[in-house]
Amino acid sequence: MLSYLKKVFKAYQSLTKFGIVLFVLVVGLSGYALGLPAGSGVDFSIVLVFVFGLYTLSAGSLALNQVQEVDIDKKMTRTQTRPIVCGFFSKVQALSISLLLISFGLISLLLVSPRSFFFGLLTLILYNLLYTYLWKKKWAFGAVPGAIPGALPPVIGYLAHSGAKLTDPDLFYLFMILFLWQMPHFWILAIKLKDDYKAGGIPVLPVLIGEERTRYHIALYLLPYLGLAASAPLFVVGSMVGSVLMWFTALTVLVFFLRYLQNNKKWLLFFLSLNMSVLIFVLVPAFTTLKYYI
């Protein structure tokens, strides 16, 4: 019995893409921290409801995506072990799980803030409708508008506070950091997995324009991403230690990118440094805000 429950839990984690959900929670809480009114303190009951809402909404959305793309997943080597494809969950079971999670998520976010609910619903629409059915399948540059829902979790957290505004510079910073990061992140993987995407019928850049030109497009988003991080003190509460850490991180990512351009085999170091950098660029301002405002 215990062994079966472990299998169910593992399949559930795979269905809801726990690693991605964890990342969503981190950036969502960073948005929540940056949106805190000065000196207001933290209401942990609201934080718990927010975390539950963001977790269930993102987990449900990602599970729904697997229901929507099961036919594509069957064609791609890296997705053939997903729980619907391998038959652990039926499509009906997975759809029921996803809709239940989404319902819990939207209700919880509504309890936190009507604006958090709205942007949670907007994320769902952009990701599970527009991106899944239109941008991803029909457009080589679908990752660009597809990055919008990926950049909205901190917006959901930031707007949990009644006094927070969409025009606040720190909210702009968080949204743009996540938006700009996603294209290099996705296109590096698309280069490594281009045969898989081709088999699945997904028109990613490396398949349509080649690897070399794709790396050019990576640079077009990477450089503004690093520039925005380096200029973070213009947008968010900063400290000297935090700024130095972010400058050092930006320089490190740039160095690894230049090495990657010279030698394609060094893609992993660039990829890992890029993913580590986004956490640093998001968490440093959040912790600095908590230090000064609570």
Residue pLDDT, tens place only, 79-109: 999 999 999 999 999 999 999 999 999 999 9
Tokens linked to 51: 């975390």
Could you report the per-residue pLDDT of 251-283, keeping only the tens digit for each?
999 999 999 999 988 999 999 999 999 999 999
Cα(205)–Cα(186) distance, rounded to whole angstroms? 10
pLDDT digits (tens, 9 = 90+) for 12-35: 999 999 999 999 999 999 999 998
Closest CA to 49 of 92, 3, 105, 124: 105
pTM: predicted TM-score of the whole model, two decimal places: 0.94
DSSP 37: P
Q: What is the rounded distance in angstroms from the CA atom of residue 271 to the CA atom of residue 252?
A: 12
Mean pLDDT of 44-54: 96
Looking at the chain, the whole-number percentage of residues with pLDDT higher than 90 is 79
Residue 3 CA from chain centroid, whole number: 32
Cα(253)–Cα(75) distance, integer angstroms: 34
Extents of the domains making up the chain:
12-293
C-alpha span between 212 and 259 (Å, rounded) = 14
Give the C-alpha separation, 62 to 57, whole Å. 9
pLDDT at 177 over 70: yes
Residue 246 to residue 94: CA distance in whole angstroms: 41
* Separation between Cα atoms, residue 286 and residue 237, nearest integer Å: 9
Residue 3: pLDDT band with limits 50, 70, 90: confident
Question: What are the distances in angstroms from CA 47 to CA 28, 111, 174, 293?
Answer: 11, 11, 19, 16
Give the pLDDT score at 32: 95
Q: Give the pLDDT score at 163.
A: 84
pLDDT in tens, 180-221: 999 999 999 999 999 999 888 899 999 889 999 999 999 999
The pLDDT, as a whole number, for residue 42 is 77
Fold classification of 12-293 is Tetracycline Repressor; domain 2 (1.10.357)
Give how far Cα 43 sits from Cα of 66, 78, 105, 211, 227, Å: 35, 42, 19, 49, 34
